Amino acid sequence: MKLFKRFLAVALSIGTLAGLATVSTPASAQISPAIINPTCAFPIIVNQEDANVAYPDTNSTYWAMPTNFSLGDVVTITGEFSYARYMSFNSYNETGSSVGGLRDTAIVPDAGSINPFLAGQSLTGTPRNYTVNVNVTNTPQVTSPVAGEIDAIPGVGWLLIRVYVPFDANSPSGGVLIPSITVNGATKTGCTTFGAEPAIVALAALIMGQAIADAIPPAEVPEFSFSGGGGLFPNADNKYVYATTSWKPGRLAIVRGLAPSYPDTPGQGLYPEQQLRYWSMCTNLLVTPAPVVECARDNVTALDAQGYYTYVIGADEDLPSAASIARDNATWLKWFGPIGEALPDELKPNGNLILRNMLPNATFSKAVQNIPMTQSNAAARATMGAYYPEATYCERSVFERYGAGACFVLGPKFTG
């Protein structure tokens, strides 16, 4: 059984659901000294299967490298651009707070190579090699003013690689090797085998436990509000709105909104820019260490003739008929996943729906990124307009008989 599944099963059994308790171990103790000097680069994998923490998107994979740099270190990362919708590097301090970031379009290709994420280049073009310079500094900037450079801090920290929507679904890294890292002339090649790390899971319990405790509790109907995008290992290229949910037998959550445009890679290029580089709706559990259940990304989400999505979210036992899902051009998402489904009804956790927006076009004013820094759902709705995800609860029998539109009109108390 995977490390995370063991952790969550224990957490649920000792009452995490009731108290949303956080781990009391000091943050500085969360990183094991044994992994500060790994034998290869980026040995730790973070995804739904291995280390399902901090609400990862199931259409992405992260690789983590524990670091212990000193001022004056000369650090470079070398590799190939992924064959994917998106990739980036990010650096963090020991507790997972952001220090620096470098997205795909800002990475400088080596001489004679191309950056396939830039306008005028083919997403599958070659050669596609790059070198990233890591600037170790006490005064890091999230976006370095130096082209192709990412800031990192001295002392214990993390470097992360993210890859979203690889063109080959069987290659999470996007058809390339994990990059190598060189520190003061000593090179560690990218790892070829990976594992979860207990430090990551413990750190997620510590950091995300507080974020979960601060979340707006479930309302009579779900209301999406802006998330500040903090927490553990945040990505500055993504912003989110979220809505917490409470389950009961027979209840569905219905979410509807206008879908932004996106580049359906690799068949469609990144340019001209669409409204967003990427978007998705994810179901998650409102417990530490913040596990994802399921995500529907942009190009697998069903749309109606007007370009609206409808998500129908429920427990396995409440799955509506295929005919009713098809009638509403809806997309089904699981509320719980295997662990939650196995729990008795009285222990089933609250949920956390997250709509993710990545890298909006400068002309797309309705993106999550443009919501004022407030948790007000009114501010989110006012900014996003038709793109705001309206939500309600609905009895399965009502949805099957009358459809999603009736669920919004009749309200969650109507039972048909």
Tens digit of each residue's pLDDT (9 = 90 or more) over 141-169: 989 889 999 999 999 899 999 999 999 99
Average pLDDT, the chain: 87
Could you tell me if 221 and 128 lie in one domain? no
Last residue of a domain, one of 152, 176, 200: 200
Could you tell me if 239 and 367 lie in one domain? yes
Could you tell me if 192 and 244 lie in one domain? no
Could you tell me if 283 and 150 lie in one domain? no
Residue at 211 is within a domain: no
- When divided into structural domains, the chain yields a total of 2
Sheet containing strand 149-152, edge to edge, reads 149-152, 129-136, 75-80, 180-183, 186-188
C-alpha torsion angle, residues 357, 361, 367, 368 (rounded to 10) = 50
User: So what's the pLDDT on residue 201?
Assistant: 67
Could you tell me if 190 and 243 lie in one domain? no
Could you tell me if 286 and 376 lie in one domain? yes
Residue at 196 is within a domain: yes
Residue at 274 is within a domain: yes
Could you tell me if 130 and 225 lie in one domain? no
Residue at 210 is within a domain: no
Residue at 205 is within a domain: no
Residue at 206 is within a domain: no
Residue at 377 is within a domain: yes
Could you tell me if 118 and 147 lie in one domain? yes
Residue at 208 is within a domain: no
Instruction: Say how far apart CA 185 and CA 357 lie, in whole Å.
Output: 39
Instruction: Say how far apart CA 206 and CA 23 lie, in whole Å.
Output: 5
What would the pLDDT profile of 272-308 be if each residue is shown by its tens digit? 999 999 999 999 999 888 889 999 999 999 999 999 9
What is the domain extent for residue 8? Answer: 3-200
Sheet containing strand 276-285, edge to edge, reads 225-227, 238-245, 351-360, 276-285, 292-297
| Peptide linkage before 272 cis (omega within 30 of 0) | yes
What would the pLDDT profile of 303-324 be if each residue is shown by its tens digit? 999 999 999 999 999 999 999 9
Could you tell me if 247 and 196 lie in one domain? no
Instruction: Say how far apart CA 322 and CA 34 lie, in whole Å.
Output: 50
Among all chains, which residue has been given the structure tokens 């996007």? 174
Instruction: Evaluate whether 131 touches 108 at the Cβ level (below 8 Å).
Output: yes
Residue 247, class by beta-carbon neighbours within 10 Å (0-12 exposed, 13-18 middle, 19+ buried)? buried
User: So what's the pLDDT on residue 231?
Assistant: 66
- Which helix (H) or strand (E) segment is 206 a member of? helix 198-214
Instruction: Return the exposure string of 166-200: e unless at least 16 CB atoms fall within 10 Å of the residue's CB, then b.
Output: bbeeeebbbbbebbbbbbeeeebebbeebebbebb
User: So what's the pLDDT on residue 14?
Assistant: 25
CB within 8 A of 274, min separation 6: which ones? Answer: 260, 261, 262, 263, 361
**What are the per-10-residue average pLDDT scores of the chain (416 residues)?**
38 29 37 65 87 88 93 98 98 90 97 98 98 97 92 94 97 98 97 75 67 78 84 87 94 98 97 97 90 96 98 96 97 92 91 97 97 84 97 96 94 74
Could you tell me if 144 and 289 lie in one domain? no
